[in-house]
Amino acid sequence: MLVGSQVRRVAVIGGGRIPFARAHGAYARVGNQEMLTAVFKSVVDRFGLKDEILGDVVAGAVIKHSSQWNLARESALGSGLAPETPGLDLQRACGTSLEAAILIANKIALGQIDSGMAGGVDTVSDAPIVYSRDYQQLLLASFRGRSLGQRVRPWLGLRPRHFKPMLPGVVEPRTGKSMGESCEQMAVDWSIPRAAQDQLAYESHRSAAAAYDEGFYEDLVVKFEGLDADNNMRRDTTVEKLAKLRPVFSKNGTLTAGNSTPMTDGASAVLLASEDWARQRSLPVQAYLTFGKVAAVDFMGAEGLLMAPAYAVPRMLADAGIALQDFDFYEIHEAFAAQVLCTLKAWESPEFCRDRLGLDAPLGSIDRAKLNVKGGSLAVGHPFAATGTRIVATLSKLLQQKGSGRGLISVCTAGGMGVTAILER
């Protein structure tokens, strides 16, 4: 049975995360499973779910070892949930955990399950190191040997080059370009100035620091490996300091280490449920996940790699029957300051909205005071698969505090895709 008698509202009960840490630092000696298990356990403890059977747990990682093929299930088994709780791994690059939340929400809405947890994790510090295919084939040939001679003979072809590792890199297989190089071209195409990028980065750090100071993250961020706050956050940064940084992707470019997200380790998760399930356990509802949309662009052609949210959001707005301005909060993932600014400029462009989106008029501007009000990825960091549910947990708490309202989530991803959602209360 794919659907019940009616589509149900999906409640966001709340979520949490460990502090996000710069790669090769505080979390250098832990891996995906340890981090994701810690986050799942924090959600279990916070909402009294020990020995509870959830309908499903969906999570994933962009960078993981082949031995972590059952990452979500293994992490759920270590979280305190009942062992009868199933788990599912998925991956949609930087949109992984938001996609996980939408999948759980769909199952709840359709009546397949009553509750579920979504999450994501990533570590650059524990990236798998692989070797050339020649070396792999040598090892497999030896393994297949039936006699001692057949097992030894492939090793006669062993050469020093086989010991050169193939280090992981964040590049698009179709273009050979890094995400930063691709975004650099987007900044050129959309005429995004360096000063505007640095200003957005500064505001991200300032907002994140203020959120920590006011205690907003006290129940969202749990201490892990000695960290109790995101260590990428720079309280003392200024626009002037950011302006002194050199471009990192192009000699004459505008993207720097200050207005681009750093390589980050971390994990996050969020609990979703039907209203009845939450009511039976006396768990308050923070918000409702009401809409979700995914899109992709032809980044091998004329479109920028990270422009897919510019397409997904208007399609989702059409589903919801609302305007871009009908939101109290905007959570736009800051992969790069330039990406956010390109997206905003696209929605303001009559030409883009007419020629690319097929609209009669531009979507228009947003109130920038409502954008990433508790800090964004530039400040807190971006463990690829963990960003989506980090944002869901943050936004649902914002809506709970306000008591009503609506929030937009927009996440760009590798592969020229975008994942978006709407939360309401």
CATH classification of the domain holding 307: 3.40.47.10
At 4 the pLDDT is: 64
Q: How many CB atoms lie within 10 A of CB 389?
A: 31
CA neighbours closer than 13 Å in the CB half-sphere of residue 403: 0
The residue range of the domain holding 328 is 179-216+290-424
CA neighbours closer than 13 Å in the CB half-sphere of residue 419: 22
DSSP, collapsed to helix, strand or coil, labels residue 387 as helix
Residue 314 lies in a domain: yes
Q: Residue 311 forms beta bridges with which residues?
A: none
At 328 the pLDDT is: 98
Helices and strands of the chain, counted as H and E runs: 14, 10
- Beta-sheet strands, E only, within 167-260: none
Residue pointed to by tokens 């072809």: 157
At 169 the pLDDT is: 73
- Beta-sheet strands, E only, within 140-240: none
Contact (Cβ atoms closer than 8 angstroms) between residue 399 and residue 405: yes
Residue pointed to by tokens 């794919």: 2
Q: Which of 183, 342, 353, 412 is catalytic?
A: 412
Q: How many CB atoms lie within 10 A of CB 123?
A: 30
Residue from 358, 294, 281, 332 nearest 96 by CA: 294
At 167 the pLDDT is: 74
Residue 340 lies in a domain: yes
Residue 75 lies in a domain: no
Model confidence, pTM:
0.96
Q: What is the spatial distance between Cα 59 and Cα 51, in angstroms, rounded to a whole number? A: 20
Q: What is the spatial distance between Cα 421 and Cα 411, in angstroms, rounded to a whole number? A: 9
Residue 405 lies in a domain: yes
Q: Which of 183, 205, 342, 382 is catalytic?
A: 382
At 5 the pLDDT is: 67
In order along its 425 residues, the chain shows pLDDT tens digits of 566 668 999 999 999 999 999 999 999 999 999 999 999 999 999 999 999 999 999 999 999 999 999 999 999 999 999 999 999 999 999 999 999 999 999 999 999 999 999 999 999 999 999 999 999 999 999 999 999 999 999 999 999 999 999 877 778 999 999 999 999 999 999 999 999 999 999 999 999 999 999 999 999 999 999 999 999 999 999 999 999 999 999 999 999 999 999 999 999 999 999 999 999 999 999 999 999 999 999 999 989 999 999 999 999 999 999 999 999 999 999 999 999 999 999 999 999 999 999 999 999 999 999 999 999 999 999 999 999 999 999 999 999 999 999 999 999 999 999 999 999 99
Active site (annotated) includes residue 353: no
Active site (annotated) includes residue 183: no
Q: Which of 24, 65, 94, 333 is catalytic?
A: 94
Active site (annotated) includes residue 412: yes
Q: Residue 60 forms beta bridges with which residues?
A: 120
Residue from 317, 281, 322, 328 nearest 420 by CA: 317
**Element (H or E) spanning 199, and its range?**
helix 194-213
Q: Residue 22 forms beta bridges with which residues?
A: 264
- In sequence order, the 6+-apart residues with CB closer than 8 A to the CB of 369 are none
Q: Residue 21 forms beta bridges with which residues?
A: 265
Give the DSSP per-residue string, 318-380.
HHHT--TT--SEEEE--SBHHHHHHHHHHHH-HHHHHHTT--SS------GGGBSTT--HHHH
Q: How many CB atoms lie within 10 A of CB 206?
A: 17
Residue 186 lies in a domain: yes
CA neighbours closer than 13 Å in the CB half-sphere of residue 68: 26
Q: How many CB atoms lie within 10 A of CB 83?
A: 9
Contact (Cβ atoms closer than 8 angstroms) between residue 266 and residue 383: yes
C-alpha pair distances (Å), 27 with each of 21, 36, 354: 7, 12, 47
Residue 229 lies in a domain: no
At 259 the pLDDT is: 98
Residue pointed to by tokens 């768990």: 283
Residue 254 lies in a domain: no
Residue 262 lies in a domain: no
**Counted domains in the chain:** 1
